[in-house]
């Protein structure tokens, strides 16, 4: 491994140990925390981010993979929110061109009223994107709808409305943002859990106590400002600050099923604007498979591996079967994953749970701990800008302008050929191919049903901070989200490569196999 590798854990831990005082410490390495570390580091603040498991282990690897303004929010008249998200969508296509794609969506229409409603509504959506528009929406007739969506039921179909939105790889964007922040001087560590907040004599938060979960070594770290960006774990951190704190969030689960591409051949995604329970359902092409979701189920507790409920699975399968000629059954599901949105917990029994994930919320506690929650992946950059601005406005940091509008995300490059699966690495692709030239064995694919090579596994370990088999298969090459059964078959091979790269023994390797098997089994239906 080359000694100038700035992504090596040993290097990052040395940075942690060498710095007694940080300007900013961020708890949580999902979209929100990673956005903040990039914003803060590029403004020139000495910044540290700590993630208890892996980047995007929480909700941020379990999204519908859309970069969108939210057609649904437009229908609710939330114009400012839609406009802001469409602007951010445009920036992502510019700054993370290797991960963000322009995706066409077709809304199938079954009556003329809907056709007019969606045609007009989507013209407004286009107009709100201004110069950063992804393409004009148009109405298409029944014949064209049937030819573009070859598996859609013919029946009472009248036609369709085509519009454009963004589509991306969420966990890979998370890893690439972490790398970009490191390249701009931040220290970013996964497998590091914050267990405690520290306070000065005035009762103001001035740091954290965190544990390296690999070595079990504990560190006390000081900072001018601590930012809580822990999604559905928000209340756990708020209770470290004040054990009496009322719950701020309540989780609502959304699940996705992944199907073979033959259920939706072609390049278009489908947007079903109103399911039987009044929700939106998407069928989106993703890495040569189709992601279908989502649901909205209020839960009483949260976990790092939420489980899909039977009724959620039935609901998605039944809804898809109302629209497609190719019948979906449970046996067709290649992978199933669930994510949790943080909703605003009711203040008292009379108040209902409200969704706060539509717009983000920044709260400053009496102890000056800053909490950022809600929002969506699409707006992660803007959320980060607002969070660091808040720290400046309350006098925790000196005033410096935000730079992220023009910061390219690690891997971004012009003119990418997206026909081969390694396009997702952008400018890193040539280095991965060089690995194969040096060691031809690395060119072997992992599984007959998966295009990924051993070189991508090596790359994830050496340069993308992957520390466990699950880090690799869930959030670097995404096989767990694409084909859970195939993933179960390759776990031992990947564990061997990982143990070899990290210099670990057979016992550690076996533990890795067992731990990853346990998680991967939950993705099989």
Ligand X SMILES: Cc1cc2nc3c(=O)[nH]c(=O)nc-3n(C[C@H](O)[C@H](O)[C@H](O)COP(=O)(O)OP(=O)(O)OC[C@H]3O[C@@H](n4cnc5c(N)ncnc54)[C@H](O)[C@@H]3O)c2cc1C
Residue ranges binding ligand X (CB under 6 A): 27-33, 50-53, 56-60, 62-66, 193-194, 229-233, 254, 294, 339-341, 357, 375-378
Minimum distance, C-beta of residue 369 to ligand X, in the bound complex (Å): 13
Judged by beta carbon, residue 46 or residue 302, the one nearer ligand X is: 302
309 φ/ψ angles, rounded to the nearest 5 degrees: -90, 155
Q: How far apart are CA 502 and CA 328, in angstroms?
A: 42
Minimum distance, C-beta of residue 80 to ligand X, in the bound complex (Å): 17
Judged by beta carbon, residue 223 or residue 446, the one nearer ligand X is: 223
Contact 469, 515 (CB under 8 A): yes
Minimum distance, C-beta of residue 73 to ligand X, in the bound complex (Å): 12
Asked, as a colleague might, if the bond just before 294 is cis with ω within 30 of 0, I would say yes
97 φ/ψ angles, rounded to the nearest 5 degrees: -60, -25
Judged by beta carbon, residue 145 or residue 379, the one nearer ligand X is: 379
Minimum distance, C-beta of residue 339 to ligand X, in the bound complex (Å): 4
Return the closest-CA partner of residue 463 out of 99, 219, 178, 247.
178
Judged by beta carbon, residue 63 or residue 468, the one nearer ligand X is: 63
Closest-approach residue to ligand X (CB): 30
Q: CB burial class (10 A; 0-12, 13-18, 19+) of residue 44? A: middle
Minimum distance, C-beta of residue 433 to ligand X, in the bound complex (Å): 31
Minimum distance, C-beta of residue 358 to ligand X, in the bound complex (Å): 10
Q: How far apart are CA 71 and CA 64, in angstroms?
A: 14
Tokens 């605003």: give the residue. 344
CB < 8 Å & 24+ apart, contacts of 357-364: 358/70, 358/73, 358/78, 358/81, 359/81, 360/32, 360/386, 362/386, 362/387, 362/390, 363/248, 364/390, 364/394
CA distances from 204 to 67, 79, 157, 197, 370 (A): 37, 38, 61, 10, 11
Minimum distance, C-beta of residue 254 to ligand X, in the bound complex (Å): 2
Q: How far apart are CA 294 and CA 309, in angstroms?
A: 12
Judged by beta carbon, residue 43 or residue 65, the one nearer ligand X is: 65
Minimum distance, C-beta of residue 481 to ligand X, in the bound complex (Å): 13
């Amino acid at each position: 491994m080359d000694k100038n590798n700035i992504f090596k854990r040993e290097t990052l831990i040395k940075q942690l140990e060498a710095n007694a005082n940080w300007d900013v410490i961020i708890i949580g390495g999902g979209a929100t925390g990673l956005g903040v570390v990039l914003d803060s580091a590029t403004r020139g603040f000495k910044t540290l981010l700590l993630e208890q498991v892996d980047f995007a282990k929480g909700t941020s690897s379990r999204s519908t993979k859309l970069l969108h303004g939210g057609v649904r929010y437009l229908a609710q008249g939330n114009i400012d929110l839609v406009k802001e998200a469409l602007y951010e969508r445009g920036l992502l296509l510019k700054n993370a061109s290797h991960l963000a794609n322009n995706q066409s969506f077709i809304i199938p229409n079954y009556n003329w009223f809907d056709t007019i409603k969606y045609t007009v509504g989507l013209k407004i959506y286009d107009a709100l994107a201004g110069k950063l528009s992804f393409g004009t929406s148009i109405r298409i007739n029944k014949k064209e709808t049937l030819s573009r969506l070859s598996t859609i039921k013919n029946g009472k179909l009248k036609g369709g409305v085509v519009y454009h939105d963004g589509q991306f790889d969420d966990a890979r964007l998370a890893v690439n943002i972490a790398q970009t922040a490191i390249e701009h001087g931040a220290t970013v560590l996964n497998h590091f859990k914050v267990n405690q907040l520290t306070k000065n004599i005035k009762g103001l938060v001035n740091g954290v106590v965190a544990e390296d979960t690999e070595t079990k070594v504990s560190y006390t770290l000081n900072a001018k400002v601590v930012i809580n960006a822990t999604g559905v774990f928000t209340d756990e951190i708020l209770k470290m600050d004040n054990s009496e704190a009322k719950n701020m969030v309540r989780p609502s689960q959304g699940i996705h099923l992944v199907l073979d591409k033959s259920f939706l051949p072609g390049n278009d995604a489908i947007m079903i604007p109103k399911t039987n329970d009044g929700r939106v359902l998407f069928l989106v092409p993703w890495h040569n498979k189709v992601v279908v979701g989502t649901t909205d189920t209020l839960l009483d507790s949260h976990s790092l591996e939420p489980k899909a409920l039977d009724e959620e699975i039935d609901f998605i399968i039944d809804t898809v079967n109302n629209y497609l000629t190719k019948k979906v059954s449970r046996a067709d599901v290649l992978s199933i994953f669930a994510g949790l949105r943080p909703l605003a917990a009711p203040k008292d029994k009379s108040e209902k749970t409200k969704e706060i994930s539509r717009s983000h919320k920044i709260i400053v506690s009496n102890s000056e701990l800053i909490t950022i929650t809600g929002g969506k992946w699409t707006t992660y950059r803007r959320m980060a800008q607002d969070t660091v601005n808040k720290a400046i406005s309350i006098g925790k940091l000196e005033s410096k302008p935000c730079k992220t509008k023009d910061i390219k995300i690690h891997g971004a490059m012009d003119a990418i050929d997206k026909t081969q699966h390694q396009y997702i690495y952008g400018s890193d692709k040539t280095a991965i191919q060089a690995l194969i030239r040096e060691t031809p064995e690395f060119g072997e694919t992992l599984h007959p049903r998966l295009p990924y090579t051993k070189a991508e596994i090596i790359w994830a370990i050496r340069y993308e901070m992957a520390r466990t088999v699950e880090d690799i298969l869930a959030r670097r090459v995404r096989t767990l989200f694409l084909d859970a059964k195939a993933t179960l078959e390759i776990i031992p091979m990947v564990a061997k490569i990982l143990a070899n790269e990290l210099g670990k023994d057979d016992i550690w390797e076996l533990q890795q196999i067992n731990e990853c098997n346990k998680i991967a089994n939950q993705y099989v239906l």
